[in-house]
Amino acid sequence: MNDCVFCKIVKGEIPSHKVYEDDDVLAFLDISQVTKGHTLVIPKVHYDNFLATPKEVMHKVMDVAQRIGQAQMLRLGAKGVNILTNVNKEAGQSVFHFHVHVIPRYEKQEGFKIEMKENNNLKDLSLPVLAQEISKELK
Ligand code: 5GP
Ligand code: ZN
């Protein structure tokens, strides 16, 4: 992908602050630090997002994400970590090269917040029907 910013980082055409690198995976600091140590983990080969990434590659990326979260707890004094990947613009994805955010958490008031609120418009949903609909695809 010629105009993909993360492919350019892999090729060294754009500088980055590397945290980890092996043959398949690269991790570097996010240019916009939402908390201290906010890191991105990517496959070196371009895939558009998590869902479009072959399992074997995705597993390698998630393995590194786990290790970076552990390192943030041990080395940066983080008290928690959010591991997050956005798929498509509707979910907030802005760079369309699969990446996992590893976001160390120190206290409640930071530059990052996830809020899950019950949606009152969905009160009439049938959970059994919904569960069945998703599970059909997994058989
Ligand atoms: P998304 O919104 O796609 O989940 O996350 C993309 C992330 O990539 C953003 O947090 C953004 O700050 C980061 N980002 C975009 N361009 C660059 C860059 O050139 N270098 C680095 N290190 N991070 C970048
Ligand atoms: Zn790319």
Distance of CA 6 to the CA centre of its chain: 13
Could you tell me if 88 and 44 are in contact, meaning their C-beta atoms sit under 8 angstroms apart? Answer: no
Q: pLDDT by residue for the chain (139 residues), tens digit each?
A: 779 999 999 999 999 999 999 999 999 999 999 999 999 999 999 999 999 999 999 999 999 999 999 999 999 999 999 999 999 999 999 999 999 999 999 987 788 988 999 999 998 999 999 999 999 999 8
Closest C-alpha among 64, 65, 63 to residue 102: 65
Which DSSP letter does residue 89 get?
Answer: G
Alpha-carbon gap, residue 104 to 43, rounded angstroms: 21
Domains annotated for the chain, with CATH where assigned, are: 5-111 (3.30.428.10)
| pTM of structure | 0.96
CA of 112 to the centre of ligand 2 (A): 25
The protein residue whose alpha carbon is closest to atom 19 in ligand 1 is 5
38 classed as catalytic = no
Which residues line ligand 1 at a C-beta cut-off of 6 Å?
5, 14, 16, 28-32, 40, 86, 92-95
**Would you state the structure tokens that stand for residue 34, as one six-digit string?**
């939402």
Atom of ligand 1 lying closest to residue 34 CA:
10
